[in-house]
Amino acid sequence: MYQSFKRTFISVNSQFLNKSVFEISEEVKSALSAKKAVVALESAIITHGMPYPENIQCALEVENVVRTQGAVPATVALLDGKIKVGLTRPELEKLGDTKISKPIKTSRRDFPYVLSNKRNGGTTVAGTIIVCNASSITFFATGGIGGVHKKFEKTLDISADLPELGRSNVAVISSGVKSILDIPKTLEYLETLGVFIASFGQDARFPAFYSRSSRSNTPYSVSNAYEAAKIVKAHKSLKLESGLLFAVPVPEEHELPFDFIDKITNQALMKLDGEAQLQGKDVTPFLLAEIAKATSGASIKTNVALVKNNAKVAGEIALQFSKLERKETEINAKSNRNGDAVIIGGCNLDCTVRLEDGEFKTDGRIHFGKFTYTPGGVGRNICEALEKLGCNTNFISAVGDDHQGRMLTATIPKKSLKHVAIQDNHSSAQCIVALDNEGQCLFLMGDMRVHSNITPKLILENEEVFSNSPLIIIDSNIGLDTMEAVFKIAKKSNIAVFYEPTDVTVAEKPFCAQHWDSIKFITPNVNEFVRICEHFNLQSQEKIDGDLKRLSTKARALAKYIDNVIITLGPDGVLIARKELSTDSTNDISVRHYPTKRVEHFANGLPEEICVSVGLSAALTALHSQAPVAERILDENHPSWTTYAEYTPML
């Protein structure tokens, strides 16, 4: 019962902090949402470990080391009474100029004072672990953690880092504990707290901060980042309420001999007992300063080197862990693809004619061009694409009992074909697409009357196909009454509806239905998006096409009505506005621009960035194909399925 209460308290406490005093940068928030590698960094080393401006330069260099490994750095600090996760450069510079920022070294006991007085603070190891645990950051890189002080029997001095590590599910990557401490007693205390400890990249020898090895051993050792990531994965799967410590030895070229440092430390302790008379949190800075003086500054260089090396290792482990998490997500996504998507929409024969040369004139002349006949229709195209991706589908549509209809039904999988109504005395839908000599569309002409036979009656006759469907996809070829019938089924069975507008003239059609709020995804182009905005009275006097800032503002507004707004921008990529899944607040809407070359989880549980990567690659493949759906679809062996598309957050 206690553990259950503790988990509940942490969860509630985290939500409260996020809404009141937490400010997580957009970069870190997006990375966490997409399960990308994130590494937290402390800020006490900036505020109390190095002089200005070297402290800022070092902090930026450490962040860059994390980025080089493919991870996102999240420097933690307190600024003006807010807990910041992921400092910007201006914020780093503000904090680092300590004469102005006047920071307080912030551990657990200091948070209430710093926050309530709107002060600035550099988080210690303990303070950073608290923030990591509250914001779901798994990895934290630092120089060395605190521990049990020498002469503990007299001072009772134990660093707050240890109990914090014992009750927080965070993996700390450090060069062991500071060499000024009692390492054997520290390891014994960490064992009591249930903290997993392993040395990294060497045998089970526990490093001693400035030195690669102390006289103590660790229970375990790991040789590389992948092994460490697997341990973290197993630890988290058990939901253990304790941390992990990976002890990384300082690079050999920067090592200071253990016996040499131990001697200097003992001399500094004698000085502390004599003239200094310091206690509490002032002891460690004093001892480190004495070591720096005795080594003529060599210890500071070693300190910087080991911090950077730990950041590198943390980035490597975080990246491997991220890959393991994504792999699990992909496996889960595959196992969840048991239901059949239901597609309701157009099925027509496309006649594409491309102008061979010259310009298109409307003076009655004959234009010479190349004609191509291909099966088309938005609904049919989606059905074919999903089938080629290995997804089962049920396609509800109508075609005529004619030559064109037989050509079309030959392209529809047999399983899906049984829901396509063959209409006597009706012509199959046909569309003429005229392209200029560069492939740009000049105009379209279509006969779509057969689609009026996709009726509510046809939907109800096939209602059983909806029962286990994870998603219903519709296009605007079907009538409003048919849409309403679909929405009622979707609402009753709690199935999300994906809407492809198809044509600017009817883009807003489904939103005239009573139960349109079953629509959770829309994929309009810019013109269709503008039309939908007009329906919701969101359009302004200004033209928004071509202006990403105006477009993103309107997309954010529309996402308050429709959870996922995915605007296709042609050669400019795609703009996605969507509600964050972690909150019920309509104010928490992210807008991201993916240029051509995440939401957290999209259809079938895949991250947004993977979906966009596959989508953009598929669009490029389609451009090289004469058919609307490429012959060779991008199956899951294609690199796009493991590539995370890059985006620009739109504020």
Among the listed residues 178, 308, 509, 554, the single catalytic one is: 178
Backbone angles phi, psi at 228, to 5 degrees: -65, -40
Local structure of residue 605 (DSSP, 8 states): G
Encoded tokens for 470: 């994870």
- Of 41, 58, 46, 250, give the one whose Cα is nearest residue 139: 41
Calculate ∠ Cα 78-80-83, nearest 5°. 30
29 class by beta-carbon count within 10 Å (0-12 exposed, 13-18 middle, 19+ buried):
buried
- d(CA 384, CA 395) in angstroms, rounded, equals 10
Q: DSSP strand E in 511-580: where?
A: 519-522, 564-568, 574-579
Local structure of residue 355 (DSSP, 8 states): E
In one-letter notation, the amino acid at residue 439 is: G
Encoded tokens for 482: 């048919």
Local structure of residue 367 (DSSP, 8 states): P
Backbone angles phi, psi at 347, to 5 degrees: -140, 110
Backbone angles phi, psi at 168, to 5 degrees: -125, 135
Q: Decide if 78 contacts 120 (C-beta within 8 A).
A: yes
The number of angstroms, rounded, from the C-alpha of 33 to the middle of its chain's C-alpha atoms is 4
- d(CA 241, CA 7) in angstroms, rounded, equals 9
Encoded tokens for 646: 């890059």
Please name the residues in contact with 297: beta carbons below 8 A apart, sequence gap of 6 or more.
none
Q: Assess whether 42 carries a catalytic annotation.
A: yes
Residues paired with 351 in a beta bridge: 373, 432
Backbone angles phi, psi at 525, to 5 degrees: -80, -175
Residues paired with 258 in a beta bridge: none
H-assigned helices in 21-53: 26-33, 44
- d(CA 157, CA 535) in angstroms, rounded, equals 67
Query: Max alpha carbon distance in the chain (Å)?
Result: 106
Kind and range of the H or E run holding 160: none
Among the listed residues 42, 290, 500, 600, the single catalytic one is: 42
Number of H-type helices and E-type strands within the chain: 23, 25
Please name the residues in contact with 315: beta carbons below 8 A apart, sequence gap of 6 or more.
37, 39, 65, 66, 67, 68, 69, 70, 71, 141
The number of angstroms, rounded, from the C-alpha of 88 to the middle of its chain's C-alpha atoms is 19
DSSP notation for 194-236: T-EEEEESSSSB--BTTBS--S-B-SEEESSHHHHHHHHHHHH
Residues annotated as catalytic are 42, 178
